[in-house]
């Protein structure tokens, strides 16, 4: 730690982030809530994120590197960038997690970097925080059942975050195309919780039909969940974006996004519907931050089917990274690197 603050940056490894409480939901819920409110106030700067695709015609939809720069205002006043790479076949072919990431934080006064940190934990946990925040406003009160389609690392973060934030949950349904993956996650969860029943569903339809909160956490490149499968009152956190058929968006009682401009691009389902003239900004119920700020209502009736379609925003990553960085400075964690 010999380098000074003025000519160095702080490096935080994945283990550093874990040691700083980076696998607990509370810091992310706090940071993402702040980011969403600042988004509604327009106290942020967030360019549309570019996608680097080497083989866009033949590659999988999850094969890309994304640059996500942002400035977050309010009391944070910090800038940064998430650089996140993904290959859909990393787990099967390379024994690696699907996504990897780095986050850089910059002092907006000088624009000098002040930190660089492993970003996959932060990226996954902030996505889980979006679901938890969405559930607080958009799911039925005291909901008891959760279903997750896709049972990888992101799914586990989603479930554990929900369990930490909601003590009403009593049933979790899991489904994955690879049944062994679902069984493995089920076994991990059973060792984590006592009063919650965990079941591996025989089909995605079974998992979808028997839940109050549905989370999609797949690498699907085409829709596979029709509107007919959704029970009245279901809240859907569509974090993997491509899983829901178009009729879900046109028939749901409310559709919410994190950011309209981010959602209406890259040939995602909403963008396809806009191009077809079947959906528009006017038909959108709200951006999530507007609901947190009380500018738009969340759930108003028990039977509403509500879809949250979050593309994921850089301001969420930067706000969360700033929270972890603040903890690291306070606890003197990490490694100082000379510039």
Report pLDDT digits (tens) over 53-96: 998 888 888 899 999 999 999 999 999 999 999 998 998 899 99
Instruction: Print the domain residue range for 202.
Output: 138-309
* Same domain membership, residue 288 and residue 148: yes
Report pLDDT digits (tens) over 248-291: 999 999 999 999 999 998 789 999 999 999 999 999 999 999 99
Predicted TM-score (pTM) of the model is 0.94
Domain contains 129: no
Task: Tell me how crowded residue 103 is: count the other CB atoms within 10 A of its CB.
Answer: 28
What region does 57 belong to: left with phi over 0, alpha with psi -120 to 50, or beta?
Answer: alpha
Instruction: Let me know if 180 is exposed, middle or buried by CB neighbors in 10 A (0-12, 13-18, 19+).
Output: exposed
Domain contains 51: yes
Q: Is the pLDDT of residue 137 over 90?
A: yes
* Same domain membership, residue 175 and residue 28: no
* Same domain membership, residue 160 and residue 87: no
Beta-carbon contacts of residue 217 (< 8 Å; ≥ 6 apart): 148, 149, 150, 151, 152, 154, 155, 158, 239, 240
* Same domain membership, residue 282 and residue 171: yes
* Same domain membership, residue 322 and residue 300: no
* Residue whose pair of structure tokens reads 């006592």 in the numeric block: 194
Q: Is the pLDDT of residue 313 over 90?
A: yes
Residue 321: which CATH number?
3.30.1780.10
* Same domain membership, residue 166 and residue 118: no
Domain contains 213: yes
* Residue whose pair of structure tokens reads 């549905």 in the numeric block: 214
Tokens at 151, concatenated: 């049972």
Domain contains 290: yes
Q: Between these two residues, 317 and 109, which has the higher pLDDT value?
A: 317
* Same domain membership, residue 110 and residue 80: yes
* Same domain membership, residue 148 and residue 268: yes
Report pLDDT digits (tens) over 291-304: 999 999 999 999 99
Q: Is the pLDDT of residue 194 over 90?
A: no
Q: Which of 37, 57, 82, 268 is catalytic?
A: 82
Alpha helices per DSSP H over the chain: 14-19, 26-41, 120-138, 153-165, 179-192, 204-209, 246-251, 260-263, 269-275, 288-292, 314-331
Domain contains 158: yes
* Same domain membership, residue 305 and residue 187: yes
* H or E element in which residue 44 lies: strand 44-45
Domain contains 133: no
Q: Is 296 a catalytic residue?
A: no
Count of domains forming the chain? 2
Query: How many percent of the chain have pLDDT more than 90?
Result: 89
């Amino acid at each position: 730690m010999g380098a000074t603050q003025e000519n160095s940056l702080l490096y935080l490894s994945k283990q550093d982030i874990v040691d700083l409480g980076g696998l607990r939901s509370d810091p992310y819920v706090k940071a993402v809530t702040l980011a969403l409110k600042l988004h509604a106030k327009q106290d942020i700067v967030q360019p549309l994120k570019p996608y680097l695709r080497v083989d866009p015609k033949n590659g999988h939809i999850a094969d890309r590197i994304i640059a996500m720069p942002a400035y977050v205002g309010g009391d944070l006043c910090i800038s940064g960038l998430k650089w996140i790479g993904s290959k859909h076949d990393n787990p099967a072919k390379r024994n690696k997690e699907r996504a990897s990431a780095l986050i850089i934080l910059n002092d907006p006064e000088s624009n000098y970097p002040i930190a660089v940190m492993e970003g996959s934990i932060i990226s996954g946990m902030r996505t889980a925080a979006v679901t938890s925040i969405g559930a607080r406003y958009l799911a039925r009160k005291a909901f008891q059942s959760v279903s997750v389609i896709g049972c990888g690392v992101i799914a586990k973060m989603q479930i554990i975050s929900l369990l930490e934030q909601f003590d009403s949950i009593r049933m979790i349904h899991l489904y994955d195309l690879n049944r062994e993956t679902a069984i493995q996650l089920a076994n991990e969860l059973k060792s984590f919780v006592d009063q919650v029943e965990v079941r591996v569903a025989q089909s995605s339809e079974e998992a979808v039909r028997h839940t109050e909160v549905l989370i999609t956490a797949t690498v699907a490149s085409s829709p596979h969940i029709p509107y007919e499968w959704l029970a009245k009152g279901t809240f859907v956190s569509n974090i993997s974006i491509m899983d829901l058929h178009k009729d879900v968006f046109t028939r749901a009682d409310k559709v919410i996004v994190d950011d309209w401009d981010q959602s209406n691009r890259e040939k995602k389902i909403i963008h396809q519907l806009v191009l077809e003239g079947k959906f528009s900004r006017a038909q959108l119920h709200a951006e999530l931050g507007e609901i947190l700020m009380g500018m738009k209502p969340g759930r108003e009736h028990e039977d509403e089917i509500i879809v949250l379609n979050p593309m994921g925003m850089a301001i969420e990553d930067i706000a969360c990274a700033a929270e972890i960085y603040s903890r690291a400075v306070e606890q003197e964690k990490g490694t100082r690197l000379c510039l």
